[in-house]
Structure 1
């Protein structure tokens, strides 16, 4: 798939928004709207999966295996670090149980014994429970002819959403899979279909969509409004639709730093909270004020994520894609 720089930039900004959100939360600040980076990620996920499956046909089994190889190894590693830290007493508020740990590792929503919230051991991993849910449904759609897939996803996501409205399920799994936020994946799929059919907006309307989305997010922040999936979801969809429209019109060029941060966004998302915790503790010891602590937490969390991308995610990706084995095999063959 050709690199869409607008999507890469959105991935970068979404990851950084989540970093700022968590850093502000830990230092007494307020940037709740940063959590909307997750909404942008979900829309992008739906967009990318639909485009990839259209451009590079794949079996349902291969699709799921590729997705697991992409997200699971790094996530399991960070979760392992959290577990080790809890056993060592570094995270005194983190309570462990076998059921919660197994649910965390296998992307099954389980209530945390620490808080009662539907969170895995690595709290931000809650989004991966939604991602895996989407991947499973998407794999199901791949069993069907191309013409039926969009209808299948629309009906299934609609049924889960309707079930949540009607029955208000209390089990952790059903309470997760029936949340309105699941429709953001479907929104991304629809945007991708429009993009593939070249039915996106022109440059002017694309810019208007981006501007309206950013103004909407800014208004939520300035008013201190509650995080609402019914508002943030459509804003995230407008933002993604606007960006792909601008790119189609040739209005977005390549910016290496943002492109790179987009590539590293998953590692930034996974690893940043560990550094934020260390930065906040160090600031308490050193007696730093809130502003410096916030800045250090943001910079430190981002740098840690970038380092993890280079030193962990990229090597793991090569291992699980077989690139390393292929390279060694070629080196062993006589010339």
Structure 2
């Protein structure tokens, strides 16, 4: 993985944490005095483009079986997500007053566990298509992309981008043409799906060494990142891909064009990039806990809105690091050890009769 994309993963996750933190303010303070920009949701768009890049980058030069590809994706995503989905469902069932964005509903829980888009029963307006763990809606898109991308691994590498484009576009058109008002139509008919394709095309350019000059790349990366946040603050309307996906794609293309090997490594940001999945999945629990803590404390500092924001960010980072270190990493190591043991077993050969060590 390119180190700049690890940095970007950390920044994208922090943007999402900040966005949800600002949304917590009116839940804690009836009339927040602190006017903070409500931005950060587009961290998701950076994740999607990065995901497309990584999938092409890690499979382009390898022979990967369909089974192995899906198995590794499941191992990467499912354990942590299922853990916190079941935790959220348990809290919603036993302590419903603590989770205002989730109510216990068995069909919704099952759909969440198996990455099926489903209307969130807590939203009485019927507008929110989201799983039990609200940020998990992005994982439904990730799994959708993985299913399509993995299914195309049988095709020659030169044809995969074209086939991926055709399948994504066909599904997008079908969703909007035949079932536009249904949950599946609204979900898969969102242009956000093309952000994965943008990441794939950027990876192809990177591997072909068709990159932007360093000076232009740095300038465009900064301008596009600012445009991403400005568009979010001004609530620009239009296709999600054009409004957020395209600036995110430019940011990532420019970043991979920059030679980061000459720069000093930002170790903490690199580490946080490794832990970004834990940060993304767990932060909503930490924000809720921090809000409850601040609401229970009666001393003066609990009324400081800026301190609340800082506490949310710091607590989210610390908790994510703990989950990454003591759950996500051990699980990943366990899966790796099992793969290696299977390889060793498959490589063993029976010793021919009569060789040294045989008993007569």
| Same fold? TM cut 0.5 | yes
Q: Which residue of 1 aligns with 2:192?
A: 181
CA distance change for structure 1 residues 222 and 98 in 2, over 3 Å: closer, same or farther? closer
Q: Is the 8 A contact 2:153 2:160 kept in 1?
A: yes
Tell me the secondary structure at the aligned position of residue 115 of structure 2: coil
Q: 1:303 aligns with which of 303, 310, 318?
A: 318
Shift of 1:303: 1.1
Alignment of 1:79-98 (within 5 A): 79-90=85-96, 91=98, 93=100, 94-98=102-106
Tell me the secondary structure at the aligned position of residue 147 of structure 1: coil
Distance 1:100 1:221 in 2: 30
Q: Which residue of 1 aligns with 2:122?
A: 114
Shift of 1:140: 1.2
| Structure 1 residues without counterparts, runs of 5 or longer | 330-335
Q: Does 1:237 align with 2:249?
A: yes
Q: Is the 8 A contact 1:60 1:139 kept in 2?
A: yes
TM-score (norm. length: structure 1): 0.91
Alignment of 1:271-310 (within 5 A): 271-287=282-298, 288-289=302-303, 290-310=305-325
Q: Which residue of 2 aligns with 1:12?
A: 10
Q: Is the 8 A contact 2:176 2:185 kept in 1?
A: no
TM-score (norm. length: structure 2): 0.85
Q: 1:124 aligns with which of 100, 113, 135?
A: 135
Q: Which residue of 2 aligns with 1:246?
A: 258
Q: Which residue of 1 aligns with 2:23?
A: 25
Shift of 1:87: 1.7
Q: Which residue of 1 aligns with 2:215?
A: 204
Q: Which residue of 2 aligns with 1:316?
A: 331
Distance 1:48 1:253 in 2: 23
CA distance change for structure 1 residues 184 and 252 in 2, over 3 Å: closer, same or farther? farther
CA distance change for structure 1 residues 305 and 227 in 2, over 3 Å: closer, same or farther? farther
Distance 1:311 1:256 in 2: 19
Count of aligned positions: 326
Q: Which residue of 1 aligns with 2:32?
A: none
Distance 2:340 2:151 in 1: 31
Shift of 1:217: 2.5
Q: 1:76 aligns with which of 63, 73, 82?
A: 82
CA distance change for structure 1 residues 92 and 269 in 2, over 3 Å: closer, same or farther? closer
Tell me the secondary structure at the aligned position of residue 259 of structure 2: helix
> Structure 1 or 2: larger helix share?
1
| Structure 2 residues without counterparts, runs of 5 or longer | 27-34, 345-360
Shift of 1:81: 0.8
Distance 2:297 2:173 in 1: 52
Higher mean alpha-carbon deviation, 170-179 vs 14-23, is at 170-179
Distance 1:228 1:108 in 2: 23
CA distance change for structure 1 residues 146 and 222 in 2, over 3 Å: closer, same or farther? closer
Q: Which residue of 2 aligns with 1:34?
A: 40
CA deviation map 1:241-292 (0-9, x unaligned):
01000137x5554221111011000000001111110101111112412211
CA distance change for structure 1 residues 158 and 99 in 2, over 3 Å: closer, same or farther? same
Distance 1:139 1:263 in 2: 23
